[in-house]
A and B are shown apart, each in its own frame.
Chain A
């Protein structure tokens, strides 16, 4: 019997599959984790910085939720509970790398160095993206689900075509893994061997829809093998594990090893946004149980146990966080002047003739209003 030539692939090895249990470096009680797998514990300085950034992020996050109640933010999708993912992943990036965040990742954007005022422009409502993506190598926060994963793969592949050393980190949630764009992005990344890292923050719910209605896959990480992409399943409330996993994936990508898919198991402590009522779809016992796995308390316990942090150190960081949150409140309580003329500025490189006419008409309208008000 002769074999017919067919350009089929070779069977991928089981080395692409994630572990059965999530990898963990520090457990919920602040003790060394029982399932470190291949993850390497970050050094003391990194661990303390992870703690510090999580505390800063948390205080700002709590402040942002408060600002929605005062009407200063139109809406706020809180990062609280997902602090370890937001901070651990971003600290694992180098300056030349790129972050592709979603609407839930305000703390990640702050951790990347974007000033709060610029990071919150979208949610305050005076423009869409408030920061310069090139300055921080942070793409605009992405509201349409999963679309950012393709941008990340394109940037990663494009940077490599241009001979630049840059890795793209795409953040997405469990709901976004059901979108077609996630499938396409993982597939393109696999085929192109793109220097991209996908971090799925699996918080168990897509607004109200639980993971069981989202997928029949054993884990989201297990999907990686379908694209020829190695994957990791990690404890997403363990900042050390998130940092170690993303750092290893970034290094691997930068060295030409291709993409990695990481699923981090976590939980959002707040509702989807301030406009959502989470009690309609999840019970108090579940929320209580996750409070006991708080990523900040866990790392603090570990650092204290290792004598890397004491009361004084905790107090210094708490003070810094309180000052930062105060600054954010003060800044966000200042009214922003919006300029209607700017509506016409950035539609095209130069406004079209039609936009010039519409701008003139709007200015006339405003002038008449101003005269009538006199």
Chain B
């Protein structure tokens, strides 16, 4: 267990003599991370649609333009390829752009800039051209959004070599991961689980904790490993708690980094429990969970007591608000899946 990080919610003292931890929302934690990054490094610039005086539609950049000025935090024309494309040029000029795509599905116009340039330029130039760009994307459903506001687009990005893809599951980790992403020399797709923006956690906001590319154990257990990220971390933890009534001792791993993925933490857990379920909101077909299931089968086959299962969204376009409850993975579906895991 020595390589597995202790649950981040407990045991992490804030750096220096900070005041006692208070409940903080994920949105506030992200805002603090941006403010601290802007203060720590004058090469950091924050831009996108409505991120200036408005503070972003989710208020994640609230107050930053006033505090750091329009040269550091600014609104752009409404054009996502333009935002990513100019961020590439700004990174070439020595800046560290932290840009926002307003919603998951609104990032698609920027896909060519992300996949053909942002992800590849280091490789294309034999390492001469590094692009430390962070693209923040509020992603996923569960907020009753009308169409195009609830996509889980992670697999598009994880399938692209050269990108790092991360998704925080808690406010404390949102702070830590965003700070880590901003200092990372690689381009990072930073997926923010928008339905958890207002979730609170009593935690100090600190850099101490796992590095950017390591998963973390959120709940130890011995019977089955639940693997989740982003919004599904909380859902998996709820399911794990409910599973105790059935006598199941469920372990929950928060991936944090989707690409690269922390095989070591995953395989150590699954070899121990012998059972694994991957949970995500995105459609299951060719989804991120398929990769995890394949890796676990390859690396843990002789330790498995049952097939690796996936609890995912349906293979449908994201449904309208009144129907999203049928699409999203729920604690009940996770419990059903646990029940199907070849218990003798």
Contacts and interface: CB of A to CB of B under 8 A. Distances in A.
Interface of A: 127-129, 132-134, 139-140, 144, 147, 149-159, 161-162, 164, 166, 168, 180-181, 184-185, 187-188, 191, 342, 345-349, 352-354
Contact of A133 (B43, B92, B164, B264): B92
Contacts of A133: 92, 125, 128-129
A150 B85 contact: yes
Given A140-B129, A152-B89, A158-B94, A347 B82 contact: no
Nearest to A164: B93
Interface stretch (B49-57, B114-122, B190-198): B114-122
A128 B185 CA distance: 21
Nearest to B109: A180
A132 B116 CA distance: 19
Nearest to B130: A349
B125 A188 contact: no
A140 B130 contact: no
Given A150-B88, A152-B89, A153-B89, A132 B122 contact: no
Interface of B: 43, 45, 71, 76-77, 79, 81-82, 84-95, 109, 112-113, 116-117, 120-130, 161-162, 164, 184-186, 213, 260-261, 263-264
Could you tell me the dominant secondary structure of chain A's interface residues?
A: helix
B125 A151 contact: no
A185 B85 contact: yes
Contact of B112 (A134, A144, A185): A144
A338 to B, nearest CB: 12
A353 B86 CA distance: 31
Contacts of B164: 348
A188 B95 contact: no
18 contacts: A133-B129, A134-B128, A147-B112, A150-B81, A151-B89, A151-B92, A151-B117, A153-B89, A154-B89, A154-B91, A157-B90, A181-B85, A184-B79, A184-B82, A346-B123, A347-B162, A353-B263, A354-B260
Given A349-B186, A353-B263, A147 B85 contact: yes
A140 B116 contact: no
A180 B116 CA distance: 15
Contacts of A347: 122-123, 161-162
A168 B263 CA distance: 43
Nearest to B86: A154
B77 A352 contact: no
B300 to A, nearest CB: 16
A10 to B, nearest CB: 18
Contacts of A156: 89
Given A161-B95, A353-B260, A154 B128 contact: no
Given A157-B86, A158-B90, A348 B128 contact: no
B189 to A, nearest CB: 13
B145 to A, nearest CB: 25
A176 to B, nearest CB: 13
Q: Name the 6 nearest CB pairs between A and B, nearest first.
A: A154-B89, A150-B85, A158-B93, A154-B86, A158-B90, A184-B82
A315 B84 CA distance: 49
B81 A161 contact: no
Contacts of A342: 126
Contact of B126 (A127, A151, A153, A180): A127
A349 B120 CA distance: 12
Contact of A158 (B79, B89, B113): B89
B165 to A, nearest CB: 12
B85 to A, nearest CB: 3
A353 B161 CA distance: 13
B113 A154 contact: no
